[in-house]
Amino acid sequence: MANFLQLMVSGLGIGAVYALVALGFVLIYRAANVVNFAQGQIAMVGAYLMIVAAVDLHLNIWLAFIVALGGMAIFGVLFELGVYYPLRNQSFLPVIISTIAASILLQNLAQYVFGANPRSLPALFATQTVKLGGIVLSVQYLTILAVTAIFVAFQYLVLDRSMLGKKMEATAQDKDTARLLGVPVAFMIAFTFVYSSILGGAAGILVGPIFFVMPGMGTTIALKAFAASIIGGFGNTVGAIVGGLAIGVIETLGAAYISEPYKDAYAFVLLILFLFLRPKGIFGEKIAEKA
Amino acid sequence: MRFLRYVPWAFVVIGVVFIPPLVGHNMYYAGLTLEAATWGLANLGLTIILGYTGQISLGQAAFFGIGAYGAAIVAVHTHSMWLGLFAGIVLTTFFGFFIGLSTLKMGGHYLAMVTIGFQTLISLLLNNWVSVTSGPDGIVGIPRPQIFGISMMQNVPFLYFVLTILVLVGAGVHVLRRFTWGRALRSIRGNELAAHVMGIDVFKTKVMAFTVGAGITGLAGGLFASAAMYISPGLFDFNQSVSFLAMTVVGGAGSAVGTVLGTVVLTLLPEVLRFLQHIYLVVYAIIVLAIVLGMPGGIWSVVEKWWSRLIPTTRPELNAHPVRFGEPTDVGEPLLTLKGVSKFFGGLKAVDDLDMTVVGQEAHALVGPNGSGKTTVLNVVTGVYPISSGSITLENHNLTDLPSHRITSYGITRTFQNIRLCNEMTVLDNVMLGLHRHRKSWFLGNMVSSPASRREQQMFEQKAWQALTYVGLAERGYELAANLAHGQQRLVELARALVAEPKVLLLDEPAAGLNDSETASLVVLLQRLKSQGSTILLVEHDMSLVTKVADNLTVLNFGHRISQGPVQQVLSDPAVLEAFLGREEGEEVAEAGS
């Protein structure tokens, strides 16, 4: 039982990382109708920024965290201007390829700057484990859960209720009407990229101490996050979070109880089952076509 | 300038003849050429799936891997590469068919995800099913085929073999684009709903695209295995799928030539950039990004634009025979019958218990205020929306619950209120889409440019030109549909519906957005259709157009039929006046008081 609970915590922890990346996916998809294939690399960029701030510049770990997230905000603007903005009036295909090219670019740039060798990233708390009534829990997984909870609370309690959040929602639902109502649509889209980059960067920073940080770390995370957003119901923020947590738990339990080599398969088997049995995901996506 | 047409083909032939002896004796160049050629062949499958049909596949490397592993395993055990190649193709077409089936329920990013999932599962299988795939170690000692006793262990003959296959398949994919099935595929990409309503079984066609596309990529995989003589799972992972996608889109996914060009460019580019050492992959990615940002349609789309300016396509001579469209029907006989038709959206009764009959050779107008359910009636009749209750029959055929393409095959075609054309196809191609209903050629027949395909193409083109002349757009046939003005786009839709030779022609607000002179010529056109015995069901707001064209009227209000009959009689019906003009104030007071 203790073992099971430990697995649950690490499953939820890794799932929270997927959830943060998936949330970024979904927000960008809703705002700009773009499936951003570079979202995983954004997490990787976040992790490396943290390494620069905390290891290379020897900043206090919390200060480094803030600096890295600030860096992600600037990165989000650059990403939007370089990858999305020139193609904003094009069909989905060139935009997808553009984000794919950006992901290749980021990965290779990271490899050029930081080298291909994995680097380790310090955790936010120095303590490794904490004992809770006979169960030994990893502090890092608990940290991930706490930070994710803060982001989610911010999303629903602050952002969604603010004017900014309502403008984001209006942009997501109907750009033309939003524009007519005076919502600065282009700005809202840029803001969404910034916010999603911060989410993705946070995911990278949080997962860094568990795995090593390396240029290729983004791909797997992105694929899982993508699966999470579909399972939850594409375009649905709650769905992205629930889907991410679900995938984290299932693959952790699957690896422990069924088979370790096929660890990465569980998410996709689940995904394919979902696509065939309930293609609109747990929470559904609003799709309508008018003749 | 006519000779210019043959220049590209001359280049291809020269390439096939001279490349093998030039590169074949150098291991490095030969390997690179074989890699580019087999990847190019693999990407031709993606051209069909993505470029033509618009279905995104991020699992193309999985098909490539299945083809390679299938071929390698069979060839190593049987010592026959031919058997291996055959097995590889069969296996991948099977998987392609299966993945194609998933398009029944999903498209867009869902399909992208299915293919990513498929890719991941195949990669895991190749790595972990050690007893069959040898796991991460890979398979060694894969043979090369023999032709007429000539061994292809040497690179030169094998290069001839691979390049020949590349050119043959490339030519097949290239010609497919202009024939019936290629057009059907492209219309699914351009406007899926319109394709369905024009009689294309969208689902089956997508499955076909996936099956053939996967088969081609599987063949490429087999050749790749045979070329390298050694394969391992890393060659077929997700990154390879992404790279296939990038190659195809950078070159121009919409054409076979562009696809192969993109493959060659992106295969050679890293090699050329190697002198940059550590940074070469960064530069590579920047170049890919720059090409996509600068030429969203791919390199070849830019070349094609210049090419078409250099050699403008000439229109065939049109004969001035008077033509008529539509299958003949008997005057006054009930043709299209709606009995108790209802369509509910949740609690909203958009159409409620509608009875209506359209008889042969009449022009029947369906009118009513906004939101009264007129367009919904057309959508239910053409199978765009499933019916909630009631029945629809055309002559003796029950159309209730049939999918759109089947309904079209019985002889109903329509136009749309919101114009639905394939914007990136020419006006002529858009009109020819209407002829899909009369196709006889086969998908694979189209790919080998069979005589039947060519005859059909010629016949369809002639018909389409006739229809374009009929609606007065003969001068604009080779333009892209997107470049036409709104009113002209409506006429293209009309021509597209006419060439299908319908028994009943459904027009959904054909005058919406037209100016006065365009409306006037539309009236003339509709009157001409009527005088030639066409049967028309018309939804329209413009009452002056309705009174000039229609024989009979059905009036809807809030989904209910409130009046039906000859035009003049219905227009003097008090219930109709009330619905259109509102009640007299006195009446309202009286009723409120009662």
| ipTM of the complex, rounded to two decimals | 0.77
**Confidence (pLDDT) at A279:** 62
pLDDT at A15: 92
Q: Lowest-confidence range among B65-69, B142-146, B209-213, B273-277?
A: B273-277
| Chain B: closest CA distance from residue A129 (Å) | 33
Nearest chain B Cα to A289, which residue?
Answer: B193
Comparing A242-246, B168-172, B314-318, B327-331, the range with the smallest average pLDDT is: B314-318
Q: How confident is the model at residue B104, as a pLDDT?
A: 67
Report the largest interatomic distance among the alpha carbons of chain A, rounded to a whole angstrom: 62
Using pLDDT thresholds of 50, 70 and 90, give the confidence band for residue B214.
very high
CA–CA distance, A104 with B292 (Å, rounded to integer): 13
The total of other beta-carbon atoms located within 10 Å of residue A182's CB is: 9
pLDDT of residue A270: 81
Interface test with A, best of B50, B111, B113 (most A CBs within 10 A): B113
Measured distance CA(B20)–CA(B159) in Å, rounded = 6
Q: Give chain B's mean pLDDT.
A: 87
Interface of A with B in 73-92 (CB under 8 A): 82-83, 86-87, 90-92
Query: Contact A291/B285, CB-based, under 8 Å?
Result: no
How much is the average pLDDT of A12-21?
92
Per-residue pLDDT, averaged over B408-434, amounts to 91
Report the predicted TM-score, pTM, of the whole model to 2 decimal places. Answer: 0.85
B460-472 average pLDDT score: 89
Question: Token pair of B402, please?
Answer: 């049939």
Virtual torsion, Cα A58, A61, A67, A71, nearest 10 deg: 90
Q: How far is A137 from chain B (nearest CA, A)?
A: 31
Q: Please tell me the predicted confidence (pLDDT) of residue A98.
A: 85
B124 near A CB under 8 A: yes
The beta-carbon neighbor of B117 closest among A102, A111, A272 is A272
pLDDT at position A280 is: 65
CA B29 to chain centre: 38
Report yes or no: B211 at the A interface, CB cutoff 8 Å: no
Residues A275, B121: C-beta atoms closer than 8 Å: no
Query: Pick the residue with more confidence: A279 or B151?
Result: B151
Highest mean pLDDT out of A172-181, B67-76, B102-111, B349-358: B67-76
Arithmetic mean of pLDDT, B488-494? 92
pLDDT (average), residues B424-452? 91
Query: Confidence class of residue B206 from pLDDT cuts 50, 70 and 90?
Result: very high
Average pLDDT of chain A to the nearest whole number: 84
| pLDDT greater than 80 at residue A1 | no
* CA–CA gap between residue B579 and residue B574 (Å, rounded): 9
Q: Pick from A49, A73, A11, A5: which is nearest to A228 by CA?
A: A11
Which residues of chain A neighbour B102 with C-beta distances below 8 Å? 275-276
Q: Rounded to whole angstroms, how far apart are CA atoms B574 and B289? A: 66
Is B253 at the interface with chain A, CB within 8 A? yes
Q: Looking at residue B585, what is its pLDDT?
A: 52
Give pLDDT tens digits for B132-147.
Answer: 888 888 898 888 888 8
Q: Do B120 and A230 touch (CB under 8 A)?
A: no
Q: Is B112's CB within 8 Å of A219's CB?
A: no
Q: Kindly list the residues from chain A whose CB atom is less than 8 angstroms away from the CB atom of residue B281.
A: 104, 108, 111-112
Residue B64 has pLDDT above 50, yes or no: yes
- Is B296's CB within 8 Å of A83's CB? no
Tell me the pairing of strands B334-345 and B504-508. Answer: unpaired
Phi/psi for B512 (5° steps) reads -65, 125
pLDDT for residue A282: 66
Label residue B474 by pLDDT band (50, 70, 90): confident
pLDDT score of B134? 87
pLDDT of B152: 77
Residue of B nearest to A114 (CA): B278
Mean pLDDT of B289-296: 83
- What percent of chain B clears pLDDT 90, i.e. is strictly above it? 38
The CA-atom distances, in angstroms, between B455 and each of B199, B430, B449 are 20, 19, 10
Q: Within an 8 Å CB–CB cutoff, is residue B423 touching chain A?
A: no
Amino acid at A273: L
Cβ-contact A17, A221 below 8 angstroms = yes
| Facing B106 at nearest CB: one of A261, A262, A279 | A279
Q: Is the pLDDT of residue A289 over 50?
A: no
pLDDT digits (tens, 9 = 90+) for A264-278: 788 878 877 777 776
Interchain CB contact of A52 with B (< 8 Å): no
Has residue B588 got a pLDDT over 50?
no
Name the residue facing B288 among A104, A111, A234 (closest C-beta).
A104
What is the pLDDT at residue B105? 65
pLDDT for the residue numbered B111: 79
- Does B120 sit within 8 Å of A223, measured CB to CB? yes
Which of A171-175, B2-6, B394-398, B510-514 has the weakest average pLDDT? B2-6
Which chain A residue lies closest to B245 (C-alpha atoms)?
A97
> How many Cβ contacts (< 8 angstroms) between chains A and B?
126
The answer to whether residues A95 and A81 touch, using CB atoms and an 8 Å cutoff, is no
Q: Is the pLDDT of residue A291 over 60?
A: no
Cα–Cα distances in angstroms (integers) from residue A202 to residues A46, A110, A178, A228, B43, in the given order? 7, 17, 30, 17, 37
Give the pLDDT band (50/70/90) at residue B329.
confident
- The per-residue pLDDT for A198 is 94
CB-based contact A101 B121, cutoff 8 Å? no
Name the more confident of B111 and B409: B409
Interface mutation vs chain A, best among B101, B278, B293, most A CBs within 10 Å: B293
User: B288 contacts in A (CB within 8 Å)?
Assistant: 97, 101, 104
Instruction: State which residue of chain A sits closest to B104, comparing Cα positions.
Output: A276
Q: In this predicted model, which residue has the larger pLDDT, A277 or B57?
A: B57
Chain A residues touching residue B121 (CB < 8 angstroms)? 265, 268-269
Q: Can you give the pLDDT at residue B522? A: 92
Kindly determine whether residue A223 and residue B106, on different chains, have CB atoms separated by under 8 Å: no
Determine, for residues B56 and A93 on separate chains, whether the beta-carbon distance falls below 8 Å. yes
DSSP string covering B277-320: GGGHHHHHHHHHHHHHHH-TT-HHHHHHHHHHHHSPPPPPPPP-
Chain B residues within an 8 Å CB radius of A223:
116, 120, 238
User: Is the CB of A146 inside 8 Å of chain B's CB atoms?
Assistant: no
Distances (CA, A) of A174 to A94, A167, B293, B417: 22, 11, 25, 21
Q: Scanning every residue of chain B, which has its alpha carbon at the shortest distance from the alpha carbon of A91? A: B296
Does the pLDDT at position B314 exceed 80?
Answer: no
